[in-house]
């Protein structure tokens, strides 16, 4: 109406929010990252983490590209270990002595040594023993000699009967056996890891069924 004074309209406050389309990045709160915060003092002691040995392979001969060393203690080797090489899965099976007679044509006696590669792969090195008549395959004898030679040095074992192992000439420290075998402290514990799934310990074991009964 004419002559009446109009009241101003009340408008809500307008908040302007940047959508980043103007080229400016939204500001993130600081994470407080500084050089002083990130720097690690090399003299500060940190928590030591030990590797756990959970698997032990069984090898008739180390790969020719491996540098290997054998545990020097007699407590970490054995002789008279009966093994069956099962062609169906190409694995070596340890045999309970009471069952060795029934598997006599298939069981061969072996030496066994605790060994490691230079990269800390622990394995059990098996070598066939001489036969009942005292005869010894030349390849097995050479393999045995290499295992004994590896007790105090790193070396490679190459194929052939009349060969010499390749000794690593570059100085490298010997294995820290206590650390590398952790948590195992006894040879029996290594055997248990190595043969936990390849141990013939009962008359109806699948390997016996296959070898003697054709199953």
Domain ranges of the chain: 57-213
CA–CA dist 181, 57 (Å, integer): 13
Determine the number of helices (DSSP H) and then strands (DSSP E) in the chain: 5, 9
Torsion sign across C-alpha atoms 166, 128, 140, 151: positive
Sequential pLDDT tens for the chain (215 residues): 555 555 555 555 555 555 555 555 666 778 788 888 888 877 766 566 778 999 999 999 999 899 999 999 999 999 999 999 999 999 999 999 999 999 988 999 999 999 999 999 999 999 999 988 889 988 899 899 999 999 999 999 886 555 667 888 788 999 999 999 999 999 999 999 999 999 999 999 999 999 998 87
Q: What is the pLDDT of residue 215?
A: 74
Q: Which residue has the tokens 């004994």?
A: 148
Q: Which residues have a Cβ under 8 Å from the Cβ of 168 and sit 6 or more positions away? A: 67, 118, 153, 154, 155, 156
With vertex at residue 115, the alpha carbon angle to CA 111 and CA 117, rounded to the nearest 5 degrees, is 145
CA–CA dist 96, 44 (Å, integer): 52
Question: Residue 76 gets which letter from DSSP?
Answer: G
Q: Which residue has the tokens 């500084």?
A: 34
pTM: 0.76
């Amino acid at each position: 109406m004419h002559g009446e004074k109009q009241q101003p309209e009340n408008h809500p406050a307008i908040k302007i929010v940047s959508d980043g389309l103007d080229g400016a990045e939204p500001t993130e709160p600081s994470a407080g990252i500084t050089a002083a915060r990130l720097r690690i003092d090399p003299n500060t002691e940190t928590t030591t983490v030990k590797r756990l040995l959970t698997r032990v392979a069984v090898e008739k001969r180390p790969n020719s590209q491996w540098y290997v060393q054998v545990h020097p203690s007699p407590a970490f080797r054995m002789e008279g270990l009966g093994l069956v090489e099962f062609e169906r899965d190409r694995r070596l099976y340890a045999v309970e002595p009471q069952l060795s007679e029934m598997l006599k044509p298939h069981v061969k006696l072996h030496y066994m040594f605790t060994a490691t590669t230079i990269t800390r792969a622990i394995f059990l090195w098996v070598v066939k023993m001489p036969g009942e008549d005292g005869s010894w395959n030349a390849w097995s004898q050479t393999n045995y000699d290499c295992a004994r030679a590896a007790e105090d040095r790193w070396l490679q074992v190459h194929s052939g009967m009349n060969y010499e192992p390749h000794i690593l000439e570059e100085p490298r420290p010997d294995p820290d056996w206590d650390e590398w075998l952790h948590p195992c402290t006894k040879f029996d514990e290594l055997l248990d890891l190595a043969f936990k799934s390849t141990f013939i310990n009962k008359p109806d074991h699948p390997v016996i069924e296959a070898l003697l009964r054709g199953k």
